[in-house]
Amino acid sequence: MASQLNIKDDATVREVREYAAQTGRTVTATIREAVRNDRSRREEEIAERIRRANELIDEVRRNMPPETRAMTSWEIMESIYDDNEPDGFAR
């Protein structure tokens, strides 16, 4: 059984066929390569965002007071919030 992909946009079909002819590849190989390249680029972008986020997390941790470094965010919030104070913050 053959797989099919029906592209209903004439401009896209024309562009893929022209590019396939220029590169000497089949239309299928051209589309496959384009998808692989796009996925690879996207995965690299995601990895870079994660790397930058981790850098920011590390910077925040370095700048935290030593006594809060081992605390969870919940424990930190509990340590600064007090139900008995009018504004809710511990003194």
**pLDDT of 90 higher than 70:** no
Contact at 8 Å (CB) between 22 and 29? no
Integer Cα distance of 77 and 28 in angstroms: 55
pLDDT in tens, 29-71: 999 999 999 999 999 999 999 999 999 999 998 998 888 888 8
| pLDDT recorded at residue 1 | 63
**pLDDT of 85 higher than 90:** no
Q: Is 71 exposed, middle or buried (0-12, 13-18, 19+ CB in 10 A)?
A: middle
| pLDDT recorded at residue 25 | 97
| pLDDT recorded at residue 84 | 74
User: What confidence category does residue 89 fall into, taking pLDDT thresholds of 50, 70 and 90?
Assistant: low
pTM of the model: 0.65
| pLDDT recorded at residue 2 | 77
